[in-house]
Chains A and B, each alone.
Chain A
Amino acid sequence: MPVPPAPRTILRRCSMYYLEIDRFADMRSPVHAWDPRIKIPALLIMAFTIALLKDIRLAAMGLAFSIGLVAISRIPISFVLRRLRWVFIFLAPFVLIMPLTVPGKDIWQFSFLSVSYEGLSLVTVIFLKAVAIVLLVFPMFGTAPFHTSMKALQHLRFPTRFVQIILFTYRHIFIFFGEICRMNNAAKARGFEAKTRWHSFRTLGNFIGVLLVRSFERTERLYNAMISRGYRGELITLSTFRMTPRDSVKGAMVMAISVLLLVGDRFL
């Protein structure tokens, strides 16, 4: 039976597409084909490895690895860059302040400001490592449907409560945003404009209050729906994971690279 395309009207109307980390999970690539039960821990270890690096050259290699992996995964660069924006905003204060404040050999001076070599190299390492680690998230969680990744976590014996919290949060972000969007439309339809004035703040306060009350009531109804179907605190799922030697080889390759990076960092 042909299945019609999914109606995503609410998502589209509220431009909520960018919330979906797994938007490109349906593509084909060696990273997509990788069993998440190996992919997630392997890339997590890689992320920790990169976090431990101190040498600027090795941090650059870590970044190169991440960029390479994102390229292999074929996730569109525009999608990646739009999300990286937030990382850059977060890093901006460090980049601006650290070269000026870390003591060391001055390489540039302008009246009372001086940029130190140590500060500059330290901030470069931090920047390279941060971008490299954030980039790893895309192959890690962007190459499989989100729920598949969560099932993989459950298989890896992550605490079930933790997995359930993430799953339900993810599921409800969309309901939540749909609600915000509808309320926002309802307010706009009655002439509401968000301006810096008392009335706007009061309206926004009401928004948040109503949203909280609604979500509280929703959790109650949701919980009823769950226990009426026999829920007892466990999330039981049927899995369809299949592991092949190829999955292990990919895992071994990533591990080898991370060991090399660590060894290199120690001796360089």
Chain B
Amino acid sequence: MSSAITIHNLTYCYPDGTEAIKDISLEISEGESVALMGPNGAGKTTLFLYLNGLLPKSSAFGKGGRGDSGSVGIVKIFGSAVDGKKPLREIRRRVGIVFQNPEDQLFCPTVFDDVAFGPLNYGLPPDAVRSRVRDALEAVGMLGFEDRVPHHLSFGEKKRVSLATILSMNPAIILLDEPTSNLDPRARRKVIQVIGDLKVTKVIATHDLEMTLELCERGIILDNGRVITDGRILDILKDKSLLEAHGLEVPYSLR
């Protein structure tokens, strides 16, 4: 198995001086499904944004001191570095982020336009775009909603359409930020099913530990910007003291 994501001693600092990621090293292989767990503010979303090249890199450390955002370390996606030199567009095509709040992800007038947004931006011909949209909506069980207006969908439907907007770009890696938050049990079940059927490398940031048992073999606990544990999900989720020390709880099914 080749490596999909390689992170080597990454530290990232926001412009206000907060170090959101502290010296993280990770290796995620192609086809893996990894749960990224940790309390609120642990750095999960920041890590996702970084992997997509979405964070400002004004200067490296040591130049201006406090007040400068910047990063040190190496991040590689399929061997090519995310460093602002290589075209980020190519990396973004291969790494898709499904954001936590679907309202931020759906900005087009219709569901079709939203799912077609990515493929159109990458210059696919119209027929290919249409079939991509069809496939993506079918994968999330939203066929027939093409002409609907996103702000009239239910929250669960919005979440699934958000996922479709990423699937239509055929990414090799999908980063999911809290895919099941705020969903009712049926909508949650549906989303879990859809994610489980995806045959790509997945990293799922979540507090829904029951879900990680179903979807992931490997788990990583992130707290205060550092990797605390990295191992088999079952071993992690059984470790009561470890979980509680980092704001998490042993899932009910393992008690």
Contacts and interface: CB of A to CB of B under 8 A. Distances in A.
Interface in A135-151: 145-147, 150
Contacts of A11: 152
Contacts of A147: 108-110, 113, 149
Nearest to B102: A225
Given A3-B144, A174-B151, A230 B93 contact: yes
B109 A229 contact: no
Interface string B231-249: 0000000000000000000
B7 interface: no
A260 interface: no
A244 to B, nearest CB: 21
B151 A171 contact: yes
B104 interface: yes
Interface stretch (A51-59, A118-126, A216-224): A216-224
A168 B107 contact: yes
A232 interface: yes
Interface string B139-171: 000011100111111100000000001100100
Interface string B91-118: 0110011010101110111100100111
B130 interface: yes
A238 interface: yes
A221 B106 CA distance: 11
B58 interface: no
A224 B92 CA distance: 11
A24 to B, nearest CB: 15
Contacts of B113: 147, 237
Contacts of B60: none
Interface string A3-28: 10011100100000000000000000
Nearest to A168: B107
Interface in B68-105: 89, 92-93, 96-97, 99, 101, 103-105
B176 interface: no
B213 interface: no
Given A8-B152, A147-B113, A171-B109, A229 B169 contact: yes
Contacts of B97: 225, 228
B111 to A, nearest CB: 11
Nearest to A172: B107
Contacts of B10: none
A232 B121 contact: yes
A221 B101 contact: yes
A1 interface: yes
Contacts of A8: 152
B28 interface: no
Given A7-B154, A8-B152, A238-B130, A222 B104 contact: yes
Contacts of A224: 49, 52, 54, 99, 104
B148 A225 contact: no
Nearest to A231: B121
B120 A150 contact: no
Interface string B171-193: 00000000000000000000000
A227 interface: yes
A167 interface: yes
Interface in A188-233: 218, 221-222, 224-232
A222 B107 CA distance: 8
Instruction: List the 5 shortest-distance A-B pairs measured between CB atoms, nearest first.
Output: A147-B109, A230-B121, A6-B152, A229-B118, A236-B120
30 contacts: A1-B144, A2-B144, A3-B144, A6-B148, A7-B152, A8-B152, A11-B152, A145-B109, A145-B149, A147-B109, A167-B109, A171-B108, A171-B109, A171-B150, A221-B99, A221-B101, A222-B104, A224-B99, A225-B97, A227-B54, A227-B92, A228-B97, A229-B96, A229-B165, A230-B89, A230-B92, A230-B93, A230-B121, A231-B117, A231-B121
Interface of A: 1-3, 6-8, 11, 145-147, 150, 167-168, 170-171, 174-175, 218, 221-222, 224-232, 234, 236-238
Given A145-B109, A147-B149, A224-B49, 10 more contacts: A147-B108, A170-B109, A171-B107, A221-B101, A224-B52, A225-B97, A228-B52, A228-B97, A229-B165, A230-B93
